[in-house]
Amino acid sequence: MWGSFKRIALGATLLLFAACATTEFTNTWKDPNAVAINPAGKTVAALWVSRDEAKRRAAEDAMVRALDKNGARGVPSYSIVPAEGLKNTDQTRQLLKNAGCDGVVVMRVVGQQEKLSYTPGAYYGGPYPYYGAWGYGWGGAAYSPGYVTQDTEVSVQILVYSLVQDKLIWAATTKTLNPSNVDSFVNELSGAVSWQMQQDGMLVKK
């Protein structure tokens, strides 16, 4: 449940809501010289940026499952790069290359905010003259009171690097409304990223 997601949200205090999660892109970027990637047979490292190793591992395991579903061979970066090694970008890149990784997908939470929205009350129906006296008994007016909805919006930055070309080839920022748990959250993000990369001509369509 929501407690699982809190463990990967960089220590932020998030709440659980009944609304379904929805992900949309706030911006995207692609290398104009990059060509579409065919993930089949490629080894892709999953890297979730977090100071907490337990948070990192939980998210990367979910990312690996999503990568596998898309045809790549996902590898959690924690199995290659120790926590202290992440501070050194050059060392991290070299360790991933030495492990035979063709690329790496990096995700990190960059923002979280609570949003309130108000839905005003509504008046429904009224007496129906053609029912005669009955209209006032079972066709009368009804009032639905207004209500306030509180949502949590989580922003995530996604970076896709080609270790073969040794450069960043695609980047994006997303916002997801009311994610419920780490598996569904990462799976939804990965699905959205896959779709968007296909639209951007960066990923070979299945």
> What is the Cα–Cα distance from 161 to 165, expressed in whole angstroms?
8
**Degrees (nearest 5) of the Cα angle 18, 24, 26?**
130
According to the model, what pLDDT value does residue 84 have?
85
pLDDT of residue 11: 36
Whether this prediction's pTM lies above 0.75 is answered by no
Strands 22-30 and 167-177: antiparallel
Residue holding tokens 């990462």?
Answer: 186
Region 25-53: mean pLDDT is 92
pLDDT tens digits, 112-127:
888 777 677 665 554 4
The mean of the pLDDT values for the chain is: 80
Cα(50)–Cα(10) distance, integer angstroms? 6
β-sheet bridge partners, residue 46: 76, 105
pLDDT of 106 reads 95
Domains by residue range for the chain, with CATH: 2-114+151-199 (3.40.50.10610)
SS (H, E, C) 70-96: CCCEEEEHHHCCCHHHHHCHHHHHHHH
Mean pLDDT of 29-39: 91
pLDDT of residue 93: 92
Percent above pLDDT 90 for the chain: 48
In this structure, how many other beta carbons lie within 10 angstroms of the beta carbon of residue 132? 10
CA distance 115 to 25: 18
pLDDT at 99: 96
